[in-house]
Amino acid sequence: MLRKQDLYDKAVSLRRKGLSYNEILDVVPVGHGTMSRWCSGIELTEKQKKRIKEKRLNTPLIKNLIESSSRNKGEDVSWAEKAVSRIKIDEKSLLLSGILLYWAEGYNSDKSQSAVFTNTDPEMIKLVMKFFREVLSVSDSKIKAMVRIGEEGEVKKAEKYWSIITSLPLERFQKPEILRLKENSKSLERYPNGICRISVYDVRVRRKIDRCIKLFKDSILSPRSSTG
C-alpha cells in the first residue's frame, strides 16, 4: 500500500503533467478535498487548461446537456417568433405596451402631477416616447428629458446620445443630475450614457395613464377574468 507521501508525490506529478483532478483520482485513492488541497497551487499551462476543458465538454453527460440546451433554445426561439407573429401591432398593442411599461417602470407617486419615466435601456425609452406621442398625443413642447450620470461620466456625450434616442432636441434637456457613485461602482462601465429621465408636464396625461393602469389591473385581476 502506498504511503501518504507517495500518494502526494504521484498526485502532484500528474497534476503538473496537466491531468484533471478526476483523472488523478482514478489512480490516486484520496478524497477530492485532499486532492484539491495538494494541487491547488500548481499552475497549468494554457494548453493543459484547454485540454481539460475539451475533455470535460466531451463527456457523454455534458455533450447530452449541450445538445439538449441547444435543442431547447431553438424550440424556445421558434415559439417566441410564432407567438409574436400572431400579435397585431397596432394602436391597441402600443397602448397595452405603454400601460404595462409605465406601470412597471414609471413614477407612480400620487403627489406627482406629471408622468415621469426613467430607465437606462434605450429601447424602453424609445417605446415610452412612442406611447406618449402616438397614443396619448403628447407634443414635444410638454416633454423634458434629463440625464442622470456619475460624476466621472461624459455629460455632453450622454445628452447627445439620449437626444438621438428620444428624438428630442438638446434644448428640451434639463440640467443633468450628477451622481456621486461608490468607489467600486461599475455603473459607468455598464451604462456609459447614464440614465435618461423623461418627464411629461401635463396632469391630464398623468391622469389618463393612472386610469388606464387601474382599469387594466381591475380587468386582469378580477375573478371573472381568471375563471373565464
The pLDDT value recorded for residue 65 is 67
The closest alpha carbon to 150, from 190, 180, 173, 185, belongs to 180
The residues, any chain, with a CB within 8 Å of residue 14's CB and separated by 6 or more, are 23, 24, 27, 28
Residue where the block lists cell 447530452: 64
CA dist 120 and 103 (Å) reads 17
**Residue with cell string 428630442:** 168
CA-to-CA distance for 24 and 102, rounded, in angstroms?
A: 57
In whole angstroms, give the CA distance from residue 13 to residue 43. 12
DSSP 88: -
Q: Report strand pairing: 143-150 vs 177-179.
A: parallel
Q: Whole-angstrom Cα distance, residue 187 to residue 189?
A: 5
* Band (211; pLDDT cuts 50, 70, 90): very high
CA within 13 Å, CB half, 106: 28
**pLDDT mean across residues, the chain:** 87
Task: State yes or no: pLDDT of 91 exceeds 90.
Answer: no
Amino acid at 220: I
Contact 93, 87 (CB under 8 A): yes
Window from 86-90, 203-207, 221-225 with minimum mean pLDDT: 221-225
- Report the pLDDT value the prediction gives residue 80, as an integer from 0 to 100: 81
Top-confidence residue, 66 or 192: 192
Contact 228, 173 (CB under 8 A): no
Cell of 71: 435543442
Whether the predicted pLDDT of 64 surpasses 90: no
DSSP state of 106: B
Q: State pTM to two decimals.
A: 0.64
- Take residue 37 and report the three cell numbers written for it: 488541497
- CB 96, CB 63: distance < 8 Å: no
**DSSP label at residue 19:** -
Contact 173, 144 (CB under 8 A): yes
Q: Counting every residue, how long is the chain?
A: 228
